[in-house]
Amino acid sequence: MRKHWIDNLRWVTVLLVLFYHVIYFYNNKGVFGGIGGFGDYPECPQYQDIVMYILYPFFMPLLFLLAGISARYALEKKSGKEWFRARTRKLLVPGTIGLFVFHWMVGYFNTVVAQREGVFDGIPAIAKYVIMAISGIGPLWFIQLLWLLSIVLLIVRALDRKDKFYSLCGKANIIVIVLLGILFWVGEQTLVQNPRPESPDGLYNLYKPFFYLVPFLMGYFVFSHDAVQEKLAKYWIPLVCVAAVAGIVLIVTTFGQDNTSPKYMGSPLNCIYGWFACLGLMAWFKVKFDRTGKFAGYMTRTSFGLYIVHYLVIASLGYMMKTYTQLPPVAMYVILTVAVFTLSPVIYEVLHRIPVIRWCVFGEKGSQRRTSLSQS
């Protein structure tokens, strides 16, 4: 029986990612990427940036948790070889070939935003194209890393062929589940605390492989158990309340800091909030949103595609509005928000109907039905 609450939580989280990127693109808190804000902090507080402090601590760990749960369910129906072959098509193809087919356009705006006009002057056309394609990775780091973690999972599964560790994890009570947040904190400590300029440190801190491995494996070994999900559901109100209180304290005490810096992310308060937000949302959706409908079904099928294409809308329109118009900031936020939630589905629906492009950009076969992040 399909667990609709997982599907619903996944596509809702994807929509939060889209909105996060709207706010992030114009942030003035020193977060890398985007085009910058409308004044320097603290003279220009930009309180809308609170969205970043609310969402960043949990939404990507939550997606890896859900991916781990879904991986367990998929591997109960498929062999490891079949599953990994499908993962390679759905994740590695869009994360590599898709860069040169679609995301080079994102790369153009990313490069121009970072270096301003004239960055491509004197560079041969083929070199420009390669630079733009590589610079267009953007949010695709998620699917690239998910593919790599899939390899790790197959190795770990080989060490637990009889599911002894998996069965043991299924016995976890609510205290053990909460204390798993310690691993969440440990994962954050693997980041390079003082990244060196012009080194791979920044790239490593973006992908955070060891940190995201933690929720991915916890999803597979712990939270894929029905018993664990039921225990979470029983405590959904206190879990959500703890997350809310921790989040409020975190925002009040840290607003203005770069909320993506290793020091910030590794702080105990950030980890407490991030972990309880993951637990609270899973518990809440298990209790209240374990159902589906026409809209929810559509979002379940298309959330992967929306995630893949949305950043082109933000990078292109966001850049052009701030660079070439005199629109007030509130108008830019409204226009960009409306655009990303309307144009992203349009772009997806168009590209999805072109067989070769569908394979390159979304990793879908010609006759394959649309799939969600749960199947990717």
Query: 284-327 pLDDT, tens per residue?
Result: 999 999 999 999 999 999 999 999 999 999 999 999 999 999 99
pLDDT of residue 113: 76
User: How far is residue 317 CA from its own chain's centroid?
Assistant: 21
In tens, the pLDDT along 31-41 reads: 988 899 999 99
CB contact burial 41-78 (16+ within 10 A = b; e otherwise): beeeebeebebbbbbbbbbbbbbbbbbbbbbbbebeee
Q: What is the mean pLDDT of residues 174-182?
A: 98
pLDDT of residue 46: 97
Distance CA 335, CA 321 (A): 9
What is the 3-state composition of the chain as percent helix, strand, coil, each rounded to the nearest 5? Answer: 75, 0, 25
Q: What is the mean pLDDT of residues 49-73?
A: 98
Distance CA 303, CA 309 (A): 10
pLDDT of residue 239: 98
Residue 223 confidence (pLDDT) above 70: yes
CA atoms within 13 Å, Cβ hemisphere of 101 = 19
Task: Output 364-370 pairs: Cβ under 8 A, ≥24 positions apart.
Answer: 364/90, 365/89, 369/301, 370/301, 370/302, 370/305
Distance CA 370, CA 2 (A): 17
Please check whether residue 340 is in contact with residue 314, taking contact to mean a CB–CB distance below 8 angstroms.
yes
DSSP 152-199: HHHHHHHHTTT-HHHHHHTT--HHHHHHTHHHHHHHHTTS-SSPPTTS
In tens, the pLDDT along 193-212 reads: 999 988 899 999 999 999 99
User: Binning pLDDT at 50, 70 and 90, where does residue 328 land?
Assistant: very high
Looking only at Cα atoms, what is the longest distance across the chain?
64
Residue 115 confidence (pLDDT) above 70: no
In tens, the pLDDT along 74-97 reads: 999 999 999 999 999 999 999 999
pLDDT of residue 372: 52
Distance CA 121, CA 2 (A): 53
DSSP 99-114: IIIIIHHHHHHHHHHH
pLDDT of residue 167: 97
Residue 264 confidence (pLDDT) above 60: yes
Q: For the ranges 57-61, 123-127, 221-225, 349-353, which has the lowest average pLDDT?
A: 123-127
Q: What is the mean pLDDT of residues 140-165?
A: 97
Residue 68 confidence (pLDDT) above 70: yes
Q: What is the mean pLDDT of residues 153-170?
A: 96
pLDDT of residue 376: 47
User: Binning pLDDT at 50, 70 and 90, where does residue 51 land?
Assistant: very high
What are the structure tokens assigned to 234, written together?
Answer: 């029983």
Residue 127 confidence (pLDDT) above 80: yes
Residue 220 confidence (pLDDT) above 70: yes
The whole-chain average pLDDT of the chain stands at 94
Neighbouring residues of 182: CB distance < 8 A, sequence distance ≥ 6: none
